[in-house]
Copies of this chain bind each other. A is one copy, B any other.
Amino acid sequence: MNANMETLAAQLRAHGHKLTRPRRAILQALAEAAKPLSPAELQTRARVFDAELGLVTVYRTLEIMEELGLVRPVHLADGCHGYALATPGHTHHVVCQRCHAVVEIVGCDLGVFLEHVAARTGYTITGHWLEIAGLCADCQRALQEEAYTREENDHAAE
């Protein structure tokens, strides 16, 4: 059990939730994940630690963790919801809106911005998720070619 997981476990306990075998398995799997996981993916990974783990429990545990701000929902490309740990020191991603290729960005200085937000809204900021959308080099090329071909046809037709 690593430090990350101890913290998560402590937070659950601090709010009166029991620390069960299925939940430990889920925490462990989340702590080890390098990317947001859908509930189904999370179940698969957590079953390494608790082979009996049911999908319903994954949903219920994620719900609790989201309420406590331990986990954050993220949009996944394949049509279902993903969850990632809301730990500090995370990285951000740029996602290509056409082919869904992902590039990681290191270094993110939103600290000052977030302090302003906290001061202005009265919220305690527990985390943030910055999704940057764009077009990767390949898709830029593909889209341009598409548009170009169309234009050529238009001219040829005149």
Binding site for B on A (CB under 8 A): 14-16, 66-69, 72-75, 79, 81, 86, 94, 96-98, 103, 105, 108-110, 113-114, 117-118, 120-137, 140, 143, 146-147, 150
Instruction: Give A5 Cβ to nearest chain B Cβ, in Å.
Output: 20
Instruction: Give A38 Cβ to nearest chain B Cβ, in Å.
Output: 12
Contact of A127 among B86, B118, B129, B133 (CB under 8 A): B133
Q: Give Cα A143 to B75, complex, Å.
A: 27
The dominant DSSP class at the A interface is mixed
Q: Give Cα A124 to B127, complex, Å.
A: 26
Residue of B nearest to A131 (CB): B129
Q: A67-B97, A121-B103 are in contact. Are A131 and B134 (CB under 8 A)?
A: no
Instruction: Give A146 Cβ to nearest chain B Cβ, in Å.
Output: 6
Q: A97-B67, A109-B113, A113-B109 are in contact. Are A136 and B150 (CB under 8 A)?
A: no
